[in-house]
Copies of this chain bind each other. A is one copy, B any other.
C-alpha cells in the first residue's frame, strides 16, 4: 500500500561536534520519504520556493517517490539552521525562515486523496487537520508534532489527535503535552486523547509503544559515531510507517516489528550529515541491520530457543 506524507522540503544549515553543512537538503517530508520509500510507494505534498533545485529529489523519485504534489511558490524555500552539542541531544535552533511555508495551504491532488496510509509530519496542527479533511477514507493516520505546537497550538493539536491512529512524539514532548514526567504515565494519558497507539521516542535509548493496555519497548541500534541527528525522528517514522504499509500488518505486535524498521532507518540517517547516508542506503543493508537489532533485543535467540525446543 502507498503512503501520503505532508510535511516540509527544506534547506538546512547544521553544525555538530563532527562538522557542518550549509543549505543542505532537509525537511520532514524529505527525510520521511527517504526511509519509507525503501518499503512502499510514497506521495509527497509540500511546498518549495522558486530557488529550489528539483534535481536534489531525483534519488527519491528513483525510489518510487511521487513528487508531483510538491508545489512551487514564488520566494525562497523553507530554511532551518541549528546546532548540536556533545551529547547530540535536541538541537538548538539558530534560525528559522518559513519563507514559502509561511502561507502554505496544503492542497492534496485528487490523485492523492484515496491514500490509506497518511503521515502528518511536524507542521502546524491546523494544516495537518486541513490535510485530513481532503483525504477521503484514511485507514491509518500517523502524526508527529513538536513542542512549538504543543505550547502554541494546543487546542488545534488536541482536536487533531481525535482523528489520529498513531501519535509519534519524543519524551520531552510527551511530558510537555501531559505534565507527566514518567513516559509510561504520559503515554497512557495521551491514549485518552484519541490515538489508539502512542510511540514515545527515547532517543539513544530506543522507543516505547503503548496501546491495547500493553507496553512494548525496543532499544535503539547502537551507533557509535553520530554525525548529525537531524531527521532522525522523520526517518524513524519513515521506516515505521513504510513497514506497516508494506506488510499491511496493523496488529500491535506487527507494530512492534515496524519499530525495528524505523529504528534502523534512523540509525543509518544519523551516520552522515543531511541525507548523505539515506541517499545511498539500500534495502538489503537495512534488512541486515534489522537482523542485528533482533539479536540485540533478544528476538533472534528467542526464535532459536523455540525452534530447538
Contact = CB atoms under 8 A, between A and B. Distances in A.
Interface of A: 86-87, 181-182, 184-185, 202, 205-206, 214-219, 222, 224, 253, 256, 295-299, 301-303, 305-307
Of listed A184, A202, A296, residue having the most chain B CB within 10 A: A296
Contacts of A87: 181
Contact of A202 (B86, B205, B215, B256): B205
Contacts of A256: 298, 301
A222 B218 contact: no
A298 B181 contact: no
A138 to B, nearest CB: 27
Given A185-B224, A206-B219, A299-B302, 7 more contacts: A206-B217, A215-B296, A217-B296, A297-B297, A303-B306, A306-B306, A306-B307
Contacts of A299: 298-299, 302
Contacts of A297: 217, 297-298
Contacts of A182: 224
Contacts of A296: 214-217
Given A86-B181, A302-B303, A219 B222 contact: no
Contacts of A253: 298, 301, 305
Contacts of A217: 206, 219, 296-297
